[in-house]
Structure 1
Amino acid sequence: MFLLSSAISAFVQLGLFLVIPFAWWAFTARHSVGFASWIGLRRPTWDGRRARLGVAILAWVVIGAASTALLQSLSGDVPAARFAGRGLGGLVPVLLFAIVQTSLAEELFFRGFLGKRVIARWGFAPGNAAQAIAFGILHVAMFASFADPIWLLAIGILTGASGWIVGWLNEEGAGGSILPGWALHASANLLVGTAAAFNLMG
């Protein structure tokens, strides 16, 4: 039952996050480009400057670790808490949560849709800032019911910075592909979910 509910939750959330992007594409671009390419689901074309890519990924890891530590210190009621103590039986639900429900849905909407549309209209700097701010606001809203304002500000800054780095990596480092950001996002959520399943979260 838990596996079924996890699968339903994952794909319903993915579908909800795709409603606006798909409708936008259907009305504005379906005759000129396929949906997958339009939203960034394509093979990366890597920037040759590996050092700056490495620095960006390292910065993202540090910010991600800080975000996770902050959220864990605030409350056990984080999204991955549903897997607590489930062990091996929780691995498939964790995979659905990490790869589909959170990372794919959020990367498609924030980096694939919102960021790209604003970038196309006003350029990279405003577009990447817009999606990062929206990403931060989403995470603030998730914890607004129990976190103090100062902690909410920290959550917004950290998750917004994480979103900005992923947007930069996708657009400036990978030729507009959202696959690198999806991979990073999914990896982080997979680690957190697996740690929760095996009671390794502290």
Structure 2
Amino acid sequence: MINELIGTVLQILIFALIPFLVYLFQKKTAKGFFDDIGLKKSTKRANFLAIFACLLFAAPPLILTLVSNDFKAIMIDPNSLTGKIREMGMGVQTLFILLLMALFKTSLAEEILFRGFLAKRLIRMAGFVKGNIIQAVLFGMIHTVLFAFTTNNPVFLTVIFIIPAIGAYVSVYLNERIANGSIIPGWISHGLANVLAYSFVGFLL
């Protein structure tokens, strides 16, 4: 448990280091960094929509896992994150690790780097639609590459590209258009979708 906590803190710091160094180089000061990457107050409307959005993103892969033995085998593979959680068994320690990884190690770290840093800069360079599409495609591709080490199933890899990519696009829309540039809605949506997926595969499947 301590190792996971340390690993989570280190991953968040590493994912925040690149944005921080770029900001420091450009601005010559650390002042305003958190506001620049969107770690600031969101709006109630954006947060509510983020909760609804997480259900849309979590549902398709979970449904496919239920109806496809191939998908199920991939999700419970011992080398996958969900497979490792499944092997731990139900317990307080497992639940703590699940929440730590779902809400902070993956979602918060990724939201800081991809939505707080990359998306905002791409939008400034290419405009909202193009910049958002580029970051969404990159986010989907990274998930596909990571899962390619576990499976070569083309249908699964396609789904694991499309769902995160759509999620990334919608998150940026919520962040930039409704939440005044805050990345909190994206974090809510991403984190809750992870919690649902990890819990379903780990404890219910």
Q: TM-score, normalised by structure 2?
A: 0.83
Unaligned runs of 5+ in 2: 66-70
Contact 1:81 1:196 in 2 (8 A): yes
Aligned match of 2:35: 37
Match of 2:81 among 79, 82, 103: 79
Q: Hey, what does 2:187 align to over in structure 1?
A: 182
Match of 2:165 among 160, 168, 173: 160
TM-score by length of 1: 0.84
Long gaps (5+) in structure 1: none
Contact 1:14 1:104 in 2 (8 A): yes
Which shows bigger deviation, 144-153 or 123-132? Answer: 144-153
Instruction: Give the Cα separation in 2 of the matches to 1:41 and 1:80.
Output: 28
Match of 2:68 in 1: none
In 1, Cα distance between equivalents of 2:9 and 2:189: 20
Name which of 145, 168, 172 aligns with 1:141: 145
What is the root-mean-square deviation of aligned Cα atoms in Å? 2.4
Alpha carbons 1:60, 1:166 under 8 Å: kept: no
The 8 Å contact of residues 54 and 190 in structure 2, kept in 1 or not, is answered as no
Q: Identity percentage over the alignment?
A: 36
Match of 2:58 in 1: 64
For the 8 Å contact 1:39–1:108, the answer to whether it is kept is yes
SS of 2:135's equivalent?
helix
Distance 1:29 1:68 in 2: 44
Indicate the SS of the match to 1:40.
coil
Which residue of structure 2 aligns with residue 88 of structure 1? Answer: 92
**Contact 1:64–1:162 (8 Å) recurs in 2:** no
Which string of whole-angstrom CA distances, capped at 9 and with x for unpartnered residues, describes residues 66-89 of structure 1?
A: 134446535113323322214222
